[in-house]
Structures are given as structure tokens and as C-alpha cells.
Structure 1
Amino acid sequence: MFTQSTLEGMLIGVSDYLDYDTQNKIGVSLDLGARNDSGRFITQSLKIIGASQKQFTEYLDTKVQITLTDCSISAYVVGNGRAALSIKAEQADIESLISL
């Protein structure tokens, strides 16, 4: 677990984060997109426990900097053998960098 981590990218999605077993809302899921060094557009899904969509919807389609507090990052494999990261945090502070 990390005490704090900062990510930058365009906020391209905000949705409820649900517990798989109970289907209860436990937070919000953010989709953050950015171009890597080779020019490919990649997305990362961030799960923020206890947050609501209202806190983030005003930042949609905006380049943002998100500071995650008490976060965990885990690697896993998706569908066709690609690697992905699971990023979960107890708190997120968001700052708009550029509005598009």
C-alpha cells in the first residue's frame, strides 16, 4: 500500500463502483486516459472508496492531476493476455490542468 501517489491524464469516465457480491455502491470508478511514449492511448481505471460521482463529473473531458491517498496497486492479466493494473484508493484529490 502506498501513502500517496499522483497520476495525470484526461478524465474520460465516471461511474459507480459496486461490490461484486452485494451489488452495493461502495465508491466511484474513474477512467483516466493518456498517451504513452509510443503514442498509443491507454486508459487506467481508478477505484475511489467512499466517493461519489458528483465530486468528479465536472472534470470530465479535462486533463487532470489526481492525488491518491492510502492507495493499492495490483497487476493482473485481462482477456487476451495483456497486463493491467488495479488501482484503489481511500481518497482522491483532483485538480484541473487543462479544460478541453
Structure 2
Amino acid sequence: MTLLIAVLLALAVGATWLAALALLRLPHALDRFHAASFLNVATGVTVTATAFAADGISGRSLKILFMMVLLVGFGAVLSHAAGRAVLLREGRSA
């Protein structure tokens, strides 16, 4: 079980580094929003899976699941709003 937790946390760290590199390398702001959205989803899934692997179905793991669902949901809405603002600022219609 400890190995599974370590692997899941390593995947979360790897996804974070991948998104950080993408943020540095991608040329346009809208592309960088995709990297940030990937980071939200990838780490949300791995952290939630880690919580369930560590605790099973418990109050803490269910709270983490709820927070991650909110993170992914609100992250998508905020990315969409920020992307629309970038498009409007550049003079393109959204």
C-alpha cells in the first residue's frame, strides 16, 4: 500500500513538472491555459486516489474528493472566463 501511495504522489509531482515545463514552452496564453487545466485535473485525480488508497472510504477522503471536484469544476469555469478575456483583449471575438 505504501508503494501505491508513493507512486500516486510521484505521478502528481510529475504532472506538476510537466505542466510547469508546458507553461514555460507554450507560446500563446490560450495554450498555457490548457496546461493549467491539465494540472488541475491530473493532480486532482492522483491526490484523490492517494487519499482513498491511504484511508479507504473515510470522512477525510470524501472531503478531498469533494474539494477536487470543486477544483476541477471551478478551474474549468475560471479558465474559460480568462480565455475569453484574453481573446477580447487581443481584439478577436469569442
Question: Could you state the TM-score of these two structures normalised by the residue count of structure 1?
Answer: 0.21
TM-score with structure 2 setting the length: 0.22
Task: Answer 1 or 2: which has greater helix percent.
Answer: 2
Q: Which of these two proteins has the greater Rg computed from alpha carbons?
A: 2
Greater strand proportion: 1
